[in-house]
Amino acid sequence: MDATARKILTDLKEKRYAPVYLLQGEETFYIDLISNYIEQNVLSDSEKGFNQIILYGKESPVNVILTNAKRFPMMAERQVVIVREAQDIPDLSKEMGQKLLLDYFSRPLPSTLLVLCHKYKTLDKRKELGKKAEQLTLSATFKRPYENQLPEFVDEYIRSKGYSMEARAIQVLCESVGNDLNRLSNEINKMVIGKPSGDQLSAEYVMTQVGMSREYNIFELQKALIAQDLFKTCQIADYFASNTRKNPLIMSVAFLFSFFSKLLLAASTSSKSEKELVTTLKISPFAARDYMNALRNYSLGKIMENISLLKAADLKLKGVNSGSENEGQILKELVVRLIH
């Protein structure tokens, strides 16, 4: 879990509250996690009716938000005002709206917890509100995690649900979903439905849940290319070509382009141990071994050639210089040339 999110949640659980929470950034998982915790736990059920207000930015100018924030709680020690989608507050980018917010941030009502969920971006730090907000509020900015941070997130999240997952299963899930933590958590939530508590999820099970063939998938294609196994590579390419709807070839080429681009970076640096590659390439520890094996089988010149081949294949799949070749033929020719 993100260290800042963990600290905020720890303080909330110990009832150490701040008058204003500014939660912002492109990673929305932690913004939702913290705001949902506040919504569900700060007030008792009997207190929520009069003292918990949920607003939406698009419908709530700054003066409406502050009118609610400046109210005193009724028959309770505090009130909670949560502004969801705060990035859509209509006058947030206007001088008057920013001045009103800054004035409140400077003198917040101690009995109010004002929570601003500013998603997908951050306040403009070229303006006074953006510069001073972090000093005057409990501000947290959440960035999308790097690839090498995903396995730890998945492992921690699934254990919090009372389950575990094989290392290979974690790798498959991370590589198929990517660094969208909301999607990762949603996939895990679906996978554990009906599973006995304490169960361990296997790689095979995860593959079936994300709609992936056990033998014929992009990860197996990458492994076959790394091993320069021409027979296996062609088998998988044939499978992809026979079902392009389920296996979009342009996405497969993009995946391999990303792999060889990172491999080029690895080959161009002095970082050659698995641990160093994790740091340099921002990849998961599970993936580092694949890159180590690929460095043994592909010279720097061949890696550069493969990147050029992948660029050309991408253009062909988009209809540029494709001639009479169909998508399947383009892929089959590509994988052979990537090895030879």
Structural domains of the chain, with CATH:
3-141 (3.40.50.300), 162-209 (no CATH), 218-339 (1.20.272.10)
Confidence of residue 277 (pLDDT cuts 50, 70, 90): confident
pLDDT at 323: 66
User: Has residue 309 got a pLDDT over 70?
Assistant: yes
Q: What is the pLDDT of residues 5-28, one digit of tens each?
A: 999 999 999 999 999 999 999 999
Confidence of residue 300 (pLDDT cuts 50, 70, 90): very high
Higher pLDDT, 21 or 275: 21
pTM for the whole structure: 0.73
CB-based contact 160:191 (threshold 8 Å): no
Confidence of residue 214 (pLDDT cuts 50, 70, 90): low
User: Has residue 270 got a pLDDT over 80?
Assistant: no
Q: Taking Cα atoms as reference points, which of 38, 123, 27 lies closest to residue 81?
A: 38
CA distance 59 to 90: 8
Across the range 44-64, mean pLDDT stands at 96
Higher pLDDT, 216 or 294: 294
Across the range 78-85, mean pLDDT stands at 97
- Give whichever of 100-109, 243-252, 317-326 has the largest mean pLDDT: 100-109
Mean residue pLDDT across the chain: 91
Measured in degrees and rounded to the nearest 5, phi and psi for residue 205 equal -65, -45
Q: Return the structure tokens found at 8.
A: 């905020």
